[in-house]
Amino acid sequence: MSISKTEDGYSVTMNDNILKDVAFEGDALVSGNFTASGYHVDVKGSFEGNNFEGMIDAEGNTFRMTALKQE
């Protein structure tokens, strides 16, 4: 996942998929979605320091996601 600050807010890319309808509240990614292989995929999670923990939901198939910030 790559997050970049833009003039309009943030741009989030995950494995070459650009997330749409991205919204942050404080340290939480409260919404973002993309379509992959015909599936609508929702992404949510929160940041704590350099760690990210969240969930990916592909039309009812839910997966835990963790990430570590690279500097």
Confidence band, pLDDT 50/70/90 cuts, at residue 9: confident
- Predicted confidence at residue 64, as pLDDT, reads 97
Tokens of 33: 């979605």
Give the angle subtended at the CA of 33 by the CAs of 63 and 35, to the nearest 5°: 90
Tokens of 68: 């570590």
The model's pTM: 0.81
37 burial (CB, 10 Å; 0-12 / 13-18 / 19+) is exposed
- Predicted confidence at residue 4, as pLDDT, reads 87
pLDDT tens digits along 15-70: 889 999 999 999 999 999 999 989 999 999 999 998 999 999 999 999 999 998 87
